[in-house]
Amino acid sequence: MKILFSILKLVVCLAIIWLIGMVLTLKIAHGYTELNQNNLDKVDITCLAMNIYHEARGEDIHGQYAVGNVTMNRVQSDMFPDTVCGVVYQARVKPSWNDPKVMVPVRNKCQFSWYCDGKSDEPKNTETYEQAISIAVSVMLGQINDNTNGALWYHRNDVDPYWNDIYIVVSEIGVHIFYNKES
């Protein structure tokens, strides 16, 4: 009787695991379908989420929206690459010391410092990265108003980059100051 009960418990556990797997599969499939219906590219979402995560993970939601908005403003500008990933990974490059045919970013010569600071780009906080993904989707779908007033540049308020006198301040959100060209 104990063996029969143990087998029954095992079957029930396996059925529950199977059911959870099916629900997750359906949720993921639905999410991808929703993204495809809105012409969003998963690679672009990942690029934008990585930028939001690394540039603003310590900010409140408005600061994270702002980083997403600046990235998308750059995609729309003639001064920057016309894809999300192109904007995020824009950098001065050089041949790799390991393989001269492979181009690598020059340290500290990127539009967004996290990309070429020499540290791992792998998100360490899963919950925060998932939030960045959600914010990226909302920004890309146009569900978030541009809280930066069209800004194309920003920096932390505790640094003084050489270029900040060239542009006009259009917004301050969290620990970042946002800039645009003169009108």
- Using one digit for the tens of pLDDT, what is the confidence trace for 58-110? 999 999 999 999 999 999 999 999 999 999 999 999 998 999 999 889 998 99
67 contacts 56 by C-beta, under 8 angstroms: yes
H helices present in 38-171, as ranges = 42-56, 61-76, 84-88, 126-140
Question: How large is the greatest C-alpha to C-alpha distance in the chain, in angstroms?
Answer: 82
The residue count for the chain: 183
* Helix axes 42-56 and 61-76, enclosed angle (nearest 10): 130
How confident is residue 3, by pLDDT bands cut at 50, 70 and 90? low
Mean pLDDT in residue range 136-160: 95
Say what the pTM is: 0.77
CATH number belonging to the domain at 38-180, selected among 1.10.10.2520, 3.10.105.10, 3.30.70.1280, 1.10.260.40: 1.10.10.2520
Contact between 70 and 58 (Cβ < 8 Å): no
Which two structure tokens, joined as six digits, stand for 16? 């529950």
Q: Where are the domains of the chain?
A: 38-180
- Judged against a pLDDT cut of 60, whether residue 143 lies above it is answered with yes
Neighbours of 89 (CB within 10 A): 19
